[in-house]
Structure 1
Amino acid sequence: MTEWLHPALIMVFGAALLPMLHDTGQKVASVLVPLLVLLRMTQMDVGSQGQVQFIGIDLVLFQADQLSLVFAWVFSIMAVIGNIYAWHINDTGQRVSAFLYIGSAFGVVFAGDWFTLLVAWEIMAFASAYLIFASANRKAVAAGFRYLMVHVAGGVLLFGGIVLHGVQTGSYLVGPLDHGQGGLAYNLILISFMLNAAVPPLSAWLTDAYPEATVTGAVFLSAFTTKTAVYVLIRNYPGAEVLIGFGVAMALYGVVFAVLENDCRRLLGYHIISQVGYMVAAVGMGTEMALNGATSHAFAHILYKGLLFMGVGAVILMTGRRKLTELGGLYHAMPMTVVLYMVGALAISAFPLFSGFVSKSMIISAAAGDHRAAVALLLTVASSGTFLHTGLKLPYYMFFGKDCGLRPSEPPVNMLLAMGLAALFCIGIGVFPQLLYDLLPYPVNYHPYSGAHITQSLGLLMFTLFAFVLCLRYLDPEKTISLDTDWLYRRGAKLFMWLALHPVLLWEKMVVTLGDGAGLRMLHRLSRASQKADTHFVDAVVNGVARMTWRCGLLLRQFQTGVVSHYALVMIVGLIVMLVFPLIAALAAP
């Protein structure tokens, strides 16, 4: 029985248990259940379980190999740390959604077939959205609906690609896709994965939604969605060279937009995009060292990015502020938070003896070893930008700089404990990299602590520090809002609805105009002249659709704002189109 104890099932059963408990019992269970998952990981081995047939399709509900085990290990660790960080909250909904979110991430990692992956993929989208809604303010609700609609659209693309792929190949088992074949199925699945990986221009949902999540919810969000996307890219698209260009662009895009940011969590969100760019580029290279680099960097990133979001979350919780222009001088009141945050900042900046140094450098070395000098150079430049903003600008203006006049206390002990555990991992991996390298999917023949590498890295970091000090007055944050590609779908949805509504309004005006006098009598005579059986049928269908549309419209007005209704209607149109086209293609296939 223990051989078939899926970590996702443990989290789902835990989610069902939590509402039955109260106060301390619920808090204890929220940590014990992830600890059980961590214990389960120590007993897990390579293999597959749960092979079943459904409507003639072979499904593999659980499949573990070295790649899936690495991601499962770090997901387990982050589940424990994240729930310790969230110990103090009294919100059953957040705990349940976090459990389902983590469980669905395990479902993706251990899925052996496309349909199992798809189900877990969609649960992950809906469960994570609640962590945004839970902030319970207007901005969070709007951002949550946008987040949900974007990910529902991604799920539709994935479903369409899976159906077409199954029709073309006759198999629904997850595995590397043929780059040479390409085709619609290949591209639909790739676009869906790129959307979850926050590849520009499909990335604005991340920086739009993550800053609006709850303090504890943002920590979970930073860990799972983009990294499950990295996992499925490694699994299905190794060596897809198109990803190299996208990955390099991501790495630079994130650090450039971080320059403009005043919101501390939005700034960290842009650096998620930047860091995931390294992983995406490594997947595109496709060599063993590059794929090891993508995997190890995802492992390290989950922990140090979680630590950074925990540090910033502690500041937001204790001050109620998140703009850099409203913060400063907090190092006196929150010294432990400052120290723990800086561990994460040094890790993401790839300082020697910290985790980012032993993972990020593997990707850059893989690019150089694969004779991609331009890629290695641009990724190195992006690394310097990461240190400039996450390692220097953000902590300077948040903890030092001009005193904002606030004197908050340190956050609750559980938050400091969780940050301390994440910091230990950041340092432990940096000091003992072989512990991480032994988990990687391919044998590792890489030694990060060479004299040349240390000298080169420290030289770059010190030059960046010098540039920061020299240009400090030009880096002052401003009270501005940076526009991203989310502007297009916000405005685009409104334009679509304007075009959709105006013909309807024109028709209504015409009916009203014809509603009195001769017009009404003319319509009456025309209707009597056309009373045939087929006309009765068409009238019944049209009237039925009209009544249903009217009632649905009333329902939408009751449960959603007008803007959200627009998004819902747009997505319904997209769902219909994306479901019909694959079906037609499948029927037309020889």
Structure 2
Amino acid sequence: MLIHPGLWLIAGGLVMAFVHGRARQILTLLVPAVALWLVWQVGDGVFGHVRFLDYQLQFVRGDRLARIFATIFTLMTLVGGLFALGQRHRIEVPAAFVYAGSAVGAVFAGDLITLFLFWELMAVGSTLVIWAGGAGARKASMRYLMVHLFGGVVLMAGITGHLAGGGDITFTAMKPDSLPHWLILIGFLVNAGAPPFSAWLPDAYPQASWSGTVFLSAFTTKTAVYVLLRGFPGAEVLVFVGLYMAIYGIVYAILENDMRRILAYSIINQVGFMVTGIGIGTEMALNGAAAHAFAHIIYKALLLMSAGSVFYQTGKTKCTDLGGLFQSMPLTTVCGTIGALAISAFPLTSGFVTKSMIAQAAADQHLMTVWLLLAAASAGVFLHAGIKFPWFVFFQKDSGLRPKDPPASMRWAMVIFSAFCIGLGVYPEPLYAILPYAVDYVPYTGSHVVSQLQLLLFSGLAFFLLLGYLKRTLTITLDTDWFYRRAGLRIARALTTVVSGGLAAFYGGALAALTGLGQGIRRHYGPAGVLARTWLSGSMVLWVAILLLMYLIVFYIPT
């Protein structure tokens, strides 16, 4: 292999920052298309050894797990670039390509140091994508960067401890059985949106532009899924973390009024399924996590493309401001509905043939509680993303808005990913063929199809029966980001007041002490001071005699 696909994307993004017009549009489509081809030129094994200090870095390591993630990342960059052809901000798309290239670089990294370098570059690229969303996104991008810098510091501390303890630099499977490995795991989970750091995702992603959110949905959390698959397969703690994420995302998505925040919380929910599969750790579960990550990137991008199209055409994101858009945006409605069905694991869609592998793995291991919670989470997904999002945005009340479908490039991007959602659902064998392990799973059995349709039917029935309670109002839901957005700010201000007062008191006391010292010195040694004024010779002789007498008395006192 002559060209690293991740570096190719990064270089393409840097070049795109200096061109515009037709040349930029050509690069937007050409660069990821070539990167996708380059991904499949990477064979199995390690390539691109680089010497760094006393370590031999493995810049490119190819295998089936790396290729499936690199494939969907470059495909996402290609279709996302098509969707963003009309984006006029000069920074966003180039930053998104640097972001995507860094994710591909992290996927192919064969050692911990190379992984960390691409990991941090990914944080920089994604921050710029959020920052490009406008004035309202600047603060969100700084909060986002703060969280991910913290995660990077924790990850670096873990890697340093791992190497200092004699660990191998090669990025292989490990167990959370020591402090360095726990720190590495925590660093990975921060990017996955795991508790208690989940709130950075719905805080930052919806602040990006109509196209920026599409890019953001694909890379950070799914790169975290990849490194968990590579680094901590079978870690039991991940089962509990994943189940928490799956339920947490549903609860907040149901409460949310902003359509893009609904889908942002849904990302956490879906990543929770993947993390649970990684924690189960069997070949079926790991295949399911990888396959679900692949399918999730496609249908989540499709959902956010439909939401981005509505935002692009109306300038509104609140469910309370929308409704009845199916009348004037039929293509966007159809594509958004396909994405909603796919995320709900409706039969003949991609979610049905991937998510069910994780549930089947739980059943195979006789993890009944896990299976039941995953089933409940699946029903919740249909409530908030399968029905709530399309219902409140495209149907329900007539908002009076009559926007048209978005420009051609945005429509084509949605159509392409809609075709993938249906194509993979109807014929999943090509996806199964590139999974890390051999697949012995048939999704379309009578019992599986019937049980899934029953689950979806009763979830839909519950939605419409409880519609009066689910209707959105202008509310604010508190999440853990409150601790660093509000409480943290108040604590910082209180500490500033206390510290400022303490410093002022210290400076005042020090100044008073120095002033008193100066006055004392002046009083004794100044021109009129006791020790500096002129003394008569007779007085000096008298004092010398007295001192000599005292010395003699002390000297001759018997000891």
TM-score, structure 1 length as denominator? 0.86
Match of residue 373 from structure 1: 368
Give me the whole-angstrom Cα distance separating, in 1, the residues matched to 2:498 and 2:428.
Answer: 62
Give me the whole-angstrom Cα distance separating, in 1, the residues matched to 2:261 and 2:393.
Answer: 14
1:4 and 1:49 in contact (8 A); partners too:
no
Please tell me the residue identity of whatever aligns with 1:161.
Answer: G
1:239 and 1:287 in contact (8 A); partners too:
yes
CA drift of 1:497 comes to 4.8
Moved more, 279-288 or 14-23: 14-23
Match of residue 126 from structure 1: 124
1:193 and 1:229 in contact (8 A); partners too:
yes
Give me the whole-angstrom Cα distance separating, in 1, the residues matched to 2:241 and 2:448.
Answer: 26
CA drift of 1:457 comes to 0.5
Match of residue 76 from structure 1: 74
Match of residue 162 from structure 2: 165
Unpaired runs of 5+ in structure 1?
Answer: 529-590
Q: Any idea what SS the aligned residue of 1:365 has?
A: helix
Give me the whole-angstrom Cα distance separating, in 1, the residues matched to 2:301 and 2:453.
Answer: 25
CA 1:527–1:335 in 2, change beyond 3 Å: closer, same or farther? farther
Give me the whole-angstrom Cα distance separating, in 2, the residues matched to 1:46 and 1:97.
Answer: 30
Give me the whole-angstrom Cα distance separating, in 2, the residues matched to 1:137 and 1:16.
Answer: 23
Q: 1:461 and 2:460 equivalent?
A: no
1:258 and 1:271 in contact (8 A); partners too:
yes
Percent identical across equivalent pairs? 48
The 5 Å alignment of 1:79-94 reads 79-94=77-92
CA 1:520–1:78 in 2, change beyond 3 Å: closer, same or farther? same
2:175 and 2:235 in contact (8 A); partners too:
no
The 5 Å alignment of 1:12-27 reads 12-27=10-25
CA drift of 1:507 comes to 2.1
Q: Any idea what SS the aligned residue of 2:440 has?
A: coil
CA 1:261–1:454 in 2, change beyond 3 Å: closer, same or farther? same
2:44 and 2:63 in contact (8 A); partners too:
yes
Q: Deviations over 1:60-79 (max 9, x none)?
A: 11101110011011111101
1:487 to 453, 473, 482: 482
Please tell me the residue identity of whatever aligns with 2:231.
Answer: N
CA drift of 1:20 comes to 3.2
CA 1:54–1:523 in 2, change beyond 3 Å: closer, same or farther? farther
Q: 1:498 and 2:494 equivalent?
A: yes
Q: 1:311 and 2:306 equivalent?
A: yes
Q: 1:245 and 2:243 equivalent?
A: no
CA 1:439–1:524 in 2, change beyond 3 Å: closer, same or farther? farther
Query: RMSD between aligned alpha carbons?
Result: 1.6
Q: Deviations over 1:408-446 (max 9, x none)?
A: 111111001001111111111101111100010000000
2:134 and 2:208 in contact (8 A); partners too:
no
Match of residue 359 from structure 1: 354
Match of residue 386 from structure 2: 391
2:281 to 281, 286, 303: 286
Aligned residue pair count: 521
Give me the whole-angstrom Cα distance separating, in 1, the residues matched to 2:183 and 2:360.
Answer: 31
Please tell me the residue identity of whatever aligns with 1:177.
Answer: M
Q: Any idea what SS the aligned residue of 2:87 has?
A: coil
Match of residue 66 from structure 1: 64
Q: Any idea what SS the aligned residue of 1:162 has?
A: helix
Q: Deviations over 1:189-226 (max 9, x none)?
A: 11111110001221000010011011111000001000
CA 1:42–1:52 in 2, change beyond 3 Å: closer, same or farther? closer
Give me the whole-angstrom Cα distance separating, in 2, the residues matched to 1:370 and 1:136.
Answer: 49
1:38 and 1:76 in contact (8 A); partners too:
yes
Q: 1:146 and 2:143 equivalent?
A: yes
1:293 and 1:359 in contact (8 A); partners too:
yes
Give me the whole-angstrom Cα distance separating, in 1, the residues matched to 2:361 and 2:217.
Answer: 26
CA drift of 1:28 comes to 1.1
Q: Deviations over 1:503-556 (max 9, x none)?
A: 2333225535775xx65522547999xxxxxxxxxxxxxxxxxxxxxxxxxxxx
1:346 and 1:391 in contact (8 A); partners too:
yes
2:93 and 2:129 in contact (8 A); partners too:
no
Give me the whole-angstrom Cα distance separating, in 2, the residues matched to 1:171 and 1:178.
Answer: 14
Q: Deviations over 1:108-146 (max 9, x none)?
A: 1000111110010001001101111112223x1111110
Please tell me the residue identity of whatever aligns with 2:502.
Answer: L
The 5 Å alignment of 1:167-246 reads 167-179=164-176, 182-246=177-241
Q: Any idea what SS the aligned residue of 2:325 has?
A: coil
2:140 and 2:203 in contact (8 A); partners too:
yes
Give me the whole-angstrom Cα distance separating, in 2, the residues matched to 1:237 and 1:16.
Answer: 34
1:23 and 1:90 in contact (8 A); partners too:
no
Please tell me the residue identity of whatever aligns with 1:47.
Answer: G
CA 1:526–1:43 in 2, change beyond 3 Å: closer, same or farther? farther
1:113 to 108, 111, 114: 111
CA drift of 1:478 comes to 1.3
Please tell me the residue identity of whatever aligns with 1:56.
Answer: D
2:321 to 296, 321, 326: 326
CA 1:246–1:83 in 2, change beyond 3 Å: closer, same or farther? same
Give me the whole-angstrom Cα distance separating, in 1, the residues matched to 2:493 and 2:171.
Answer: 38
Please tell me the residue identity of whatever aligns with 2:99.
Answer: Y
Please tell me the residue identity of whatever aligns with 1:151.
Answer: H
CA drift of 1:470 comes to 1.7
2:64 and 2:434 in contact (8 A); partners too:
yes
Please tell me the residue identity of whatever aligns with 2:423.
Answer: G
Q: Deviations over 1:80-105 (max 9, x none)?
A: 00000000112221121011000000
Give me the whole-angstrom Cα distance separating, in 2, the residues matched to 1:137 and 1:349.
Answer: 35
